[in-house]
Amino acid sequence: PCLSPGDTSVLAGLYGPAEAKLSKELPDRAALEVLLRPKVGLPGVLERSREQQLRQTCEAVVLGALHPRTAITLVLQVLSDAGSLLSCCLNAACMALLDAGLPLCSLFCGVTCALGPDGAITLDPTARQEQEARAVLTFAIDSRERKVLMTTTKGSCSVEEMQQCLAAAQRAADTVFQFYRDSLRRRYSK
C-alpha cells in the first residue's frame, strides 16, 4: 500500500512468512527483516538506523511465535519526501502487515511532532517546518491503549515538552487509526 500524508509517499511491500535462510532463521519466532530504500542514491547509514527502528516496532506487534523458522521481509521504497518520513514509513509498514494478514497483537501508527523555537507543537510537519524546528520527535503509538512503542528524537527538548508532544501525538493517533479503518473497509467491502 502507498501512503502519503501531504506529499510524502512511501510504498510498502511485505513478503512472508516464507522460508528463511539457515543463517537467518530463529528457532522459536519469525525473523523480521526491513529494507528501506531512499528515493535517491544507495541505502546508507541513516536508512540502516531507520530500518532497525521499524524492525523493532514491528517485532513488538507481530506474533512471531506463530510462525517459527520463517522470514518476514518488509521492503519500503521512498517515493517522495516532504517531511515526516519516518512516521509515514511506520504507517505504511502497519498497513502492509494488515494487508498481508499477518497475526498482530495490536496495530500501530507513526506521528511526528516538531517543536518550534517558541515551544509551539506542530504535528506532521513539512520538510521546511522540520528544518526550522528546535526538536523533531517521532512516536510509534499502539492501537489498544495508545501506549508508546518507539520514540526517536532529533534535537533537544525538555521532559515536559516531550510529555506534551506525546499527549498531542496520542490524540492524533486516533485520526490515523480511523483512516486505517476507513481504508480497510473500502478495500474489503467490494
Binding site for another protein (CB under 8 A): 2, 4, 6-9, 11, 37, 39-41, 77, 79-80, 82
Give the whole-angstrom CA distance, residue 9 versus residue 3. 5
Angle (CA) 53-58-62 rounded to 5° is: 160
Strand order in the sheet with 135-142: 121-123, 108-115, 135-142, 148-155
Least distance in Å: CB of 124 to another protein?
A: 14
Write down the least CB distance from residue 136 to another protein, Å.
Answer: 21
Q: Provide the pairing of β-strand 108-115 with 121-123.
A: antiparallel
Minimum distance between the CB of residue 7 and another protein, rounded to whole angstroms? 4
Could you tell me which of 71, 86, 103, 84 has the C-alpha nearest to residue 36? 86
- Shortest distance (Å) from residue 3 CB to another protein: 10
Q: How far is the CB of 32 from another protein (least distance, A)?
A: 23
CB nearer to another protein: pick between 40 and 159: 40
- Complex with another protein: residue 40 or 120, whichever CB lies closer: 40
Are 15 and 72 in contact by the 8 Å Cβ rule? The answer is yes
Cell of 13: 511491500
Nearer to another protein by C-beta: 7 or 174?
A: 7
Nearer CB in complex with another protein: 92/137: 92
d(CA 170, CA 154): 19
Between 11 and 162, CB nearer to another protein: 11
Amino acid found at 143: S
